[in-house]
Amino acid sequence: MIILGIETSCDETAAAIVSNGSEILSNVISTQVDYHKKYGGIVPEIASRKHQENIIPVVREALDRAHMQLQDIQGIAVTQGPGLIGSLLVGVNAAKAIAYARSIPLVGINHLEGHMLAPHLECDIPLPNITLVVSGGHTNIYYMEKVGSYRLLGKTRDDAAGEAYDKVAKLLGLGYPGGVVIDRLAQNGNPAAFSFPRPMMHDASCDFSFSGLKTAVLYCVKNNFPDGVPENVLPDLAASFQQAVVDSIVEKTLQACIVCKVSAVALTGGVAANSRLRLHMQQRAQERKISLYLTSTILCTDNAAMIAKAGSFKLAHDLPFPYEMNAISRWPL
């Protein structure tokens, strides 16, 4: 089945065409990051307006790059939630209208399930496994028994990992989005220069907490550099903060593997593109004889190929048309 995926849950307008649930024929992502930069974060109303301008051109582009016509599409999968409601509405309504006009089946996908299935686009991942979804909105550890059957083992009790990156980048005056800037700066820093807490590291649960870490960075800056952080100290601060985040994530995720007696772990979501996280997870998973499955950067970020992939398990020609499908801003998985 040839599936068109559509994703507009946050600040990326994305469309992709996936064949037989495995072959990515096109994967178009139009990011709005430049429009939100000056506000230091995503402005929901601006995001919605940009999606409205981009949705049809992005779908057109996905078809063009796949050398296909709309007539070739046999089903549509769209992100139904969770996310920004105005952003979701653009994708959901456009998808409904296109599917209706073409008389093809349509299914709504949970964005988190999309992320969980992104690594499966690239290789066969053993089941059951532990899947970590780590992004600007989520830091969730799942036990994945099989496709469609997920158990949430732990999540952040406050800020998501990506949110902590953004907030720390903001307080260090590094700009937005924080993940990319801090990762780059940290390359030249000493991760042991500053001692930051690893919250909940030795707690038995699989939960995370990152807001205390953000506060620790704030006080470190206030106490040591009341006149502002000198330029040459920034890489050390960034590296030390990043190491604290990475240590928490790696430790908790591998702990989950051991507790659940699972020997495969997959990383997905925007923060899973972080170079330090990938490196450390690789080293420590190897030490513990756990197979690690990393997702390519382009599939870590919000994309529609993962939504089409999720759709490939759910779409069938005999589905009743979901006329009443609506966007869902909060939708736990």
Partner 1 sequence: MRILSIDTATPAASAAIVDGGRILAECLLTGQKNHSQRLLQIIDRLFDWTGTARESIDLIAVSIGPGSFTGLRVGISTAQGLAFALDKPLAGVPTLEVVASQATGGDGLISPMIDARKQQVYASLYSRTGSDLTQVKPATVLDALAWVESLTGPAVLIGAGAMVYYDRIAACAAAKGCSIVPEHLGIPRASALAILSQAKYAASAGRPELVSALYVRPPDAFFDEAKK
Nearer to partner 1, 23 or 53 (CB): 53
Helix residue ranges, H only, 154-207: 161-171, 178-186
Residues 6+ apart with CB under 8 A from 316: 105
Contact pattern for partner 1 over residues 93 through 132, marking x by CB under 8 A: xxxxxx-xxx------------------------------
Binders of partner 1 in range 152-171 (CB under 8 A): 160, 163
Map tokens 């051991």 to a residue. Answer: 258
* Contact call for residue 70 and partner 1 (CB under 8 A): yes
Q: The tokens of 80 are what?
A: 């139904």
Q: At what angle do helices 178-186 and 275-287 cross, to 10 degrees?
A: 70
**Could you tell me the smallest distance in angstroms from the CB atom of residue 209 to partner 1?**
14
Nearer to partner 1, 19 or 329 (CB): 329
Binder of partner 1 out of 48, 209, 242, 255 (CB under 8 A) = 48
Nearer to partner 1, 43 or 260 (CB): 43
* Contact call for residue 46 and partner 1 (CB under 8 A): yes
**Could you tell me the smallest distance in angstroms from the CB atom of residue 326 to partner 1?**
5
Nearer to partner 1, 15 or 254 (CB): 15
* Contact call for residue 174 and partner 1 (CB under 8 A): no
Please name which of 236, 304, 250, 252 lies closest in space to residue 281, comparing C-alpha atoms.
Answer: 250
User: Which helix (H) or strand (E) segment is 29 a member of?
Assistant: strand 23-31
* Cα 143 to the center of its chain, rounded Å: 17
Question: Cβ distance 69 to 26 under 8 Å?
Answer: no
Q: The tokens of 36 are what?
A: 């939100």
Length of the chain in terms of residues written: 333
* Contact call for residue 89 and partner 1 (CB under 8 A): yes
Binder of partner 1 out of 45, 192, 279, 296 (CB under 8 A) = 45
* Contact call for residue 137 and partner 1 (CB under 8 A): yes
Please name which of 299, 325, 327, 330 lies closest in space to residue 116, comparing C-alpha atoms.
Answer: 299
Which residues are near partner 1 by CB under 8 A? 10, 39-46, 48-49, 52-53, 55-57, 59-60, 70, 82-86, 89-98, 100-102, 136-138, 160, 163, 323-327, 329-330
